[in-house]
Amino acid sequence: MKFSILIATFNRAAVLQKTLESLASLQPEGSWEVIVVDNNSPDDTRQVVEAATRTFPVPLRYVFEREPGRSAALNSGFRAARGAIVVTTDDDVKVEPDWLDRIAAGFEAHGCDYVGGRVLPVWPGEVPDWLPARNEVLCGVIAVLDYGAAPIRYGVRVPLGVNMAIRREALRRAGYFDCRVGRKAGTLLGQEVREWCVRAHAAGLVGYYVPDVVVHHLIPRDRLTKSYFRRWYYWRGVSRAILYAECGLDMANPEGPPPDVAKIRHIAGVPRYMFRTALVRLKDVVAARLAGDAVRSFDGELWLCFFGGIVRRRWRDRRAAVPNASHRVAAVTTPQNA
């Protein structure tokens, strides 16, 4: 088996059906399969998958994962996958017929262990005028990504799980996703891909952004609200604080040089310099509002929400020692039967 496509889904049977219809149009060179991992959906997800298997051009398998969370679901998919290349995506995408072939070409061109590509938006209507245009904001909150027209070796930048492919051997070496920092019902945790990339790089693995590997991602209307953006950034702060406590990763730049924890002064478990940054951001928000710059004002507000998540989680973990940098990339999920 050359490719295994994994879809983790929860309670989105209607959009999942459209995604399976799009995947059915794939015409790659080499054998492939699709695995849908149902993460405790109360709707008719299973029936949708079983109905699609009757006409699907390749094996379409249904896997049930009881443990809540996207990472747990994908880890189940990793264990079930038979392909030499494991591709992760979401239940709300459209792909081109040569998507898998372009992934294979990316691996061959760069001789790498994992690849990611562009994620282009399918907007449900007009784009809000308050939406910051920074790639970091779009990439994180609504899973849109475009690093440009040239290939890039991953380092500070990381792929999105909606358009990512990993060699099975890379999963054996780096491990699976960390369920502690992945999305769970009732939260917007979501640093599992970044954390995995840190471990992958520590294991000597190499990844590349391949611009012609493209998926089209349906943007849900309910995510294009300021309240959702604020909530997402708050949970991003919580996620980054977990990585800081568990692995010693820098909260502002987790793939950068690890901080020397012993030399950093903390207030309630938070590096003191982050409070100074928060004050600067707050002043900038006020100035932007007075100037009538809604985009800049909201962009600064999102960082403050991020900081709020950090403060809350670090207050909870304030008595726990932060690991030394030498321990920061220990594998947290051991593959079994990979």
Q: What is the pLDDT of residues 166-192, one digit of tens each?
A: 999 999 999 999 988 887 777 888 889
Q: Of 92, 95, 142, which is closest to residue 117 (Cα–Cα)?
A: 95
pLDDT band at 323 (very low <50, low <70, confident <90, very high): low
Query: Kind and range of the H or E element at 267?
Result: strand 266-267
Rounded Cα gap, residues 57 and 45, in angstroms: 19
Instruction: Say if residue 330's pLDDT is above 80.
Output: no
Average pLDDT over residues 191-199: 90
- pLDDT, tens digit (0-9, with 9 covering 90-100), for 93-103: 999 999 999 99
Instruction: Say if residue 217's pLDDT is above 50.
Output: yes
Distance from the Cα of residue 265 to its chain's centroid: 31
In a 13 Å sphere around the CA of 204, the CA atoms on its Cβ side amount to 3
- Higher-pLDDT residue of 131 and 49 is 49
The fraction of the chain above a pLDDT of 70, given in percent, is 95
pLDDT of residue 324: 55
Task: Say whether 298 sits in a helix, a strand or coil.
Answer: helix
Q: Which two tokens stand for residue 276?
A: 């100074």
* Cβ-contact 36, 9 below 8 angstroms: yes
Query: Kind and range of the H or E element at 142?
Result: helix 135-142
Q: Which domains does the chain have, with CATH numbers?
A: 3-223 (3.90.550.10), 228-327 (no CATH)
Q: Of 235, 219, 218, which is closest to residue 227 (Cα–Cα)?
A: 235
Rounded Cα gap, residues 145 and 323, in angstroms: 32
- pLDDT, tens digit (0-9, with 9 covering 90-100), for 52-99: 999 999 999 999 999 999 999 999 999 999 999 999 999 999 999 999
Question: What single letter denotes the amino acid at residue 306?
Answer: F
